Amino acid sequence: MKSKKILVTGGAGYIGAHTVVELFASGYSPVIIDNFSKSDRTLLDGIEKITGKALTFYEGDCTDRQFLNGVFEKEGKLEGVMHFAAYKSVGESVEFPIMYYQNNINSLLALVEVMKEHQVNNLIFSSSCTVYGEPDSIPVDEYAPFKKAESPYGATKQMCEQILEDAVRADIDLKVISLRYFNPIGAHPSAMLGELPIDKPNNLVPYITQTAASIREKLVIFGGDYDTPDGTCIRDFIHIVDLAQAHVKAIDKLLGEGISDGYQYYNLGTGQGISVLQLVKEFIEVTGVKLNYEIGPRRAGDVVKTYANPTKAKNELNWSAQYTSRDALRDAWAWEKRLRRLNT
């Protein structure tokens, strides 16, 4: 039997690339789109090394309907789409809000329109726990209300979910799952694939590993005076491979038994809250590497405490996180070392 083709937008990015590996492992045929605006070819090489497969790849922009149409025409029957292609830097979105709305909203609109023209009806959307803002209570389940977004980036995720919910309501054939990620970290255990920010990292773990690799002078922990046990923020750090596998479970469900109401959403987290300082200490313990860090001022717009209640994903997708944060830190460091050719 021919394996099912899944279009993966943003497939050269951190989450997209790891998901492509897991799609291959589960017998799907991923078709990748990326415009390399926030990524480069390194991760595509990594996918090929891990899977031993030749990639089907198109370079282009998801806001470009003509380009998308061309891909759908060329590929023929696509069973579903996973839409990762989006900008994701909170700080950058505050500086360039129009760019964020333009890219993140228009790409989704173009994609859904082109999907409809080609009768492709199954979509997995990359959402984020940012939709909840600062939650009233933790762990956060899927029924927590959307608070006013802390950033234009967060607003784009809320708007995209709203667009999809409305689109599903108006179209009986369209089926969508939004996956709300907590904090994905780590790398593929082979060290062939990992996070590769093209500029100075904004996220915590690439900043840690680049500091450990002496690319950055020191890690600043943003805020040590929050109302938490050690004064630093609390997050739910989830291994990237666990996150990628959840996408396969989600597409299996869409194409298999299906979902109720045409639109579903799931938190993807471990269910464990870990503080930023705890994570830094774990990194030092797990790797034995010295890390230059200090506690600095708070970063504007940071949520203080959030972690997931992942029960809905467990019950309905039969998915739960298998790796620990220590596994993720060990793998992130192995990836960084391989990338920089370090022998530490």
* Rounded least distance, CB 143 to ligand UD1, Å: 18
Stretch that binds ligand UD1, among 21-29, 170-178, 214-222, 254-262 (CB under 6 A): 214-222
* Rounded least distance, CB 303 to ligand UD1, Å: 4
Query: Does 243 engage in binding with ligand UD1 (CB under 6 A)?
Result: no
Q: Residues 14, 58, 153, 307: which is the catalytic one?
A: 153
**The only residue of 35, 93, 122, 183 in contact with ligand UD1, by rule CB under 6 A:** 183
Per-residue contact flags (x/-) with ligand UD1 for residues 218 to 237, judged by CB under 6 A: -xxxx----------x-x--
153 has catalytic annotation? yes
Distance, CA of 78 to CA of 265 (rounded, Å): 22
**The only residue of 56, 106, 203, 311 in contact with ligand UD1, by rule CB under 6 A:** 203
CB-CB neighbours of 311 under 10 Å:
15
Q: Which one, 60 or 301, has the nearer CB to ligand UD1? A: 301
Stretch that binds ligand UD1, among 28-36, 55-63, 247-255, 297-305 (CB under 6 A): 297-305
What is 90-155 written as a DSSP string? HHHHHH-HHHHHHHHHHHHHHHHHHHHHTT--EEEEEEEGGGG-S-SSSSB-TTSPPPPPSSHHHH
Structure tokens at 318: 């039969």
Residue 59 corresponds to which amino acid? Answer: E
Overall size of the chain counted in residues:
344
Number of shown-chain residues binding ligand UD1 (CB under 6 A): 23
Q: Which one, 220 or 255, has the nearer CB to ligand UD1? A: 220
Distance, CA of 87 to CA of 105 (rounded, Å): 10
* Rounded least distance, CB 289 to ligand UD1, Å: 17
Query: Does 238 engage in binding with ligand UD1 (CB under 6 A)?
Result: no
Q: Which one, 299 or 340, has the nearer CB to ligand UD1? A: 299
For ligand UD1, the binding residues in 123-142 under the rule CB under 6 A are: 128-130
Which helix (H) or strand (E) is 158 found in, with range? helix 152-169
Structure tokens at 117: 């023209």
Query: Does 299 engage in binding with ligand UD1 (CB under 6 A)?
Result: yes
Please state whether 82 falls in left (phi above 0), alpha (psi between -120 and 50) or beta: beta
Long-range contacts of 133-138 (CB under 8 A, 24+ apart): 133/303, 134/303, 134/304, 134/306, 135/303, 135/305, 135/306, 138/234, 138/273, 138/305, 138/306, 138/307
Q: Which residues bind ligand UD1 (CB under 6 A)?
A: 88-90, 128-130, 181, 183, 202-204, 207, 219-222, 233, 235, 276, 299, 302-303, 306
Q: Active-site residue numbers?
A: 153
